[in-house]
Chain A
Amino acid sequence: MIVQRTQSFAKVLLLTLVAASLSACAARSNRQPGEPADALTGRTSTSDSRAILSAADQVRQSLASSEFLKGRTPQSPEIQLLCDRLENFSSDRLSVTDRLAAVWALVSDDGMLELLRERNVKVYFAPRSDDALGAVIGPNWRNWSSPQEPTHVLSARFFSMVRDSSSTPGQLADARTDDFTVSFAIVDNASGAQAWSGQARYRRTSKGLQID
């Protein structure tokens, strides 16, 4: 009896071990770094430009109806708008590249480009961001980089509110929601007066234990 049971169990275990050895050191977790777990999960370590795009409309509409661009035409004196001072006040680390990518997604939106063309506004990025700029824009980044003295400066501040939750009461948080708010401001470089301000909001959620 002992012999037969041992024999059966050994066969079952043998099959299991063969399967395990085939994937022994190639065993992979279900999730790779940066990979969303499901439709509701987003990576929070870098800016998600797609999320920003959905907020770009809000900003474009605010700009289009603002006093800053009111009455302007393609023949109006050119506004040279320098994107600078992109500051992170959120709870997520946003590298220079991340912040540039977020603003780039905003200004390169088709609707935004059309608006800027119609109102004769030329956008530049600060020269010191050149290396990161190349990574964001690509080979044509020099077209967007200028050392000239701008007429106006666009600044952006990233804020966030974080909510953690747990699927099991009293246990460690395994879900997180980040509500981001990006506050934009355009300042007249000569007078220092604020010409326009606006906000864009987007949300990211993630599921799963962070500390695992």
Chain B
Amino acid sequence: MTSQHANPKPAGITEAPVRGRARACVTITAVSSLAILCGCSPYRADRAIINDFARGEFADARIAAINQAQAVGDRDRTLYQMKALLAALADGTPAAAERPAREIYQTLRTAGINEGTTPAAFLTTEDSARTFKGEPFEQAMAYCYVGILDGLTGDWGNLRAGVNNSLFTLRGFAGVAQPRAGSMQNTSEGERSNAAANDPTLRGVPVPTDFELGYTLKAIAARQLNELEEAKEAAAQLAQINPALQEFSRIIVEGTYNTVLIVDFGTAPEKFATGDDATIAAYRTTTPSTNDQLRVLAGSSVGEFPLITDLNRLARDAKWTNLEPMRRAKSAIGTGLIIAGATAATVGNNNRNRDAQWAGLGAIAAGALMKATSYADTRHVEVFPQRVYVALLNLPAGEGSSMTVQVERFPDSRVILPPIAGPSLPGPARLHYLRLPMVSTNWATTGRWVYLHDFVPSPPAASIPYILGGTCVRTPSDSVLDSYHRAGVLREITSVQQLRELYELEGIKILQGGPNTQPGAHIFERGTWLFSPLPASAGALRLFAQPQSAYVPKSPRLRELHAAYASTVAAFNRADAPPESAAPVESKSNRRE
């Protein structure tokens, strides 16, 4: 008699390999899930750098950001370079800003950089697949800051080119302000389609930008280049998008100013993930929006300047992301897998079917992974300001004029700049950039230079270098060496090169500039660099407007010179001492780059 089944197999041998393969599948799924999850996690705002910015400790911030930019991969590098650029500008060190600016501009201007990344973003996470360029308002701000860097060096042409790139068209549904605030979260596709049928701005059509800062800087730059028609056009566009700036626009075109002061204040809104499985990117306010004007007291003149751009407003109007529907679909698929997997596992359990149980567990794991990786990309530049002001001033040349700058009802924002001189020759205006602190500091309101640096107008004829016990931290030059000789010191040093060599013996690097220079911390802040931040910057105030530790010589050569000139230096300092000179504090021996 033939068995009903041909070649019957012994019981047990059929089941074991299948069960083993099912276990292997689940194991591999679990390991893969772990690999993906461990390698990728949502971006969280860097509280340390936010605090550095609030306290005006921009050197710490730029060094940290530069180090992070060098450590991260290509996809995140631009994020940290933007932070480094902002910190370097606020610190008044354009040399440190040039390289980040160049690389940011290169990335922003490269078209299609995230083309073809949607499948990868679907399979992994959005922030691991896409190169960070920032939300449109972040890109626009970054272009402006690249332009401001050029403006600080007097290059109005490059400033104009930079800010011109910030005035790109937006997607029409950028006008739908509420999605980020949550009111669109529960809106169905059908409801949005109906709304779009009635309002063209909701159909994703290109619409002109309303970026006030871009138009402002474009108008100013064009005016400095004597491109009057372009200046008028940009000023008119500015007045159109914000009628409150009409008078300000008129002054831009008139050109009756020789100094432009760009002032940043506050902290940008924070981006976070919300909604089901955190698929929706939203912003929460850090510094609230107000209508306070910027008050500038220069000499006997007082000016009040309106708010130009509020980043809280821009963040609320942030354009609809392409990947948001994809993230929601991924989350929904994940939910479906979990439900199906749970069902299969339950059925398998009831029928004592191990294969079904393993399949169910695998589906649950896969579904959980999809849901866990469908979170929104929360990368953002947390150190952008909340608001930007632009002050148009007429400063006297020569000795210059001290300036008090403050956002009206924010007393901790008050900064007193020691005398800043206007341009000495007729020609384009001079640009300054100032990031106001958020908390009260010692150095922000002294109003005078304790140390003699490269940008002091009308420096004294005689001075003594800081490394010898004096207060001069200027970059070595013939005139600087001459001033030391006039003070009766360093007569044996007869050339600038010899003076530079003395600094080298101390391990001090002198900032020369150049496209790839990246200075570290100043010698006043436990660093090894000698440079002078721009005079209207928080960096200059923090370094030179408050007493610092006395310098401790390291090399035998300098120790000899200290001993040789001790009495000369003491006599000079007594004669030159300002009324509230501070006794040297204990020197900090720890050095850092």
A contacts, CB < 8 Å to B? 2-3, 6-7, 9-11, 13-14, 16-21, 23-25, 27-35, 37, 41, 43-46, 87-97, 131-132, 134-135, 166, 170-176, 206-212
Query: Which of B31, B169, B353 is A173 in contact with, Cβ under 8 Å?
Result: B169
Cα separation A83 to B355 with both chains bound (whole Å): 79
B566 in the interface (beta carbon within 8 A): no
Interface members, chain B 76-116 (any A CB < 8 Å):
78, 98, 102-103, 105-116
Closest 7 CB pairs of A and B: A208-B112, A131-B514, A208-B111, A7-B359, A20-B123, A27-B120, A25-B39
Tell me which residues across on chain B come within 8 A of A171, comparing CB atoms.
204-206
Question: In the bound complex, what is the Cα–Cα distance between A197 and B29 (angstroms)?
Answer: 70
In the complex, chain B residues whose CB is within 8 Å of the CB of A10: 25, 29, 337, 341, 359, 362-363, 366
Contacts of B123 in A (CB 8 A): 16-17, 19-20, 27
- Stretch of B158-166, B295-303, B447-455, B538-546 contacting A (4+ beta carbons < 8 Å): B158-166
Alpha-carbon distance A20/B128, docked complex (angstroms): 11
**Which segment, of B343-351, B474-482, B584-592, faces chain A?**
B343-351
A7 to B21, CA, bound (A): 11
Beyond A6-B356, A45-B102, list 13 extra A-B contacts (CB 8 Å).
A3-B348, A13-B363, A20-B120, A20-B123, A21-B32, A31-B112, A32-B113, A89-B157, A90-B161, A170-B206, A172-B171, A209-B115, A212-B133
Chain A to chain B contacts (Cβ below 8 Å), 5 pairs = A14-B32, A93-B150, A175-B111, A206-B110, A211-B168
A-facing residues in B32-46 (Cβ within 8 Å): 32-33, 35-36, 39-40
B74 contacts the other chain (CB 8 A) = yes
| CB of B130 closer than 8 Å to a CB of A | yes
> How distant is the Cα of A211 from the Cα of B111 in the complex, in angstroms?
8
B496 interface residue (CB < 8 Å to A) = no
A211/B136 in contact, CB under 8 A: yes
Q: With the chains together, A161 CA to B123 CA distance in Å?
A: 41
B398 contacts the other chain (CB 8 A): no
Dominant secondary structure at the B interface: helix
Q: Which residues of B contact A31 (CB under 8 A)?
A: 110, 112-113, 115
- Min CB gap B545→A, angstroms: 29
Closest CB-CB distance, B564 to chain A, in whole Å? 35
CB B456 to nearest CB in A, in angstroms, measures: 21
**Most-contacted residue by chain B among A20, A41, A94 (CB, 10 A):** A20
Query: Do A6 and B25 have beta carbons less than 8 Å apart?
Result: no
Question: Do B112 and A174 have beta carbons less than 8 Å apart?
Answer: yes
- Whether B116 pairs with A29 at a CB distance below 8 angstroms is yes
Contact: B35 with A21, CB < 8 Å? yes
Q: Which residues of B contact A16 (CB under 8 A)?
A: 123
Contact indicator B355/A92 (Cβ below 8 Å):
no
B356/A7 in contact, CB under 8 A? yes
Task: Name the residue of chain B whose CB is nearest to the CB of A135.
Answer: B515
Q: Which of B102, B340, B359 has the largest number of chain A CB atoms within 10 A?
A: B359
Whether B74 lies near A44 (C-beta < 8 A) is: no
Shortest Cβ gap from A100 to chain B (Å): 10
Chain B CB within 10 Å, residue with most, of A89, A134, A175: A89
Asked if A24 and B39 sit within 8 Å, CB to CB, the answer is yes
The reply to whether A95 and B102 form a contact with Cβ atoms under 8 Å apart is yes
**Given A14-B29, A93-B146, A34 contacting B36 (CB threshold 8 A):** no
Report yes or no: B162 in contact with A13, Cβ–Cβ below 8 A: no
Which residue of chain A lies nearest to B163 when distances are taken between CB atoms in the complex?
A: A93
Q: A17-B36, A132-B514, A135-B514 are in contact. Are A93 and B161 (CB under 8 A)?
A: yes
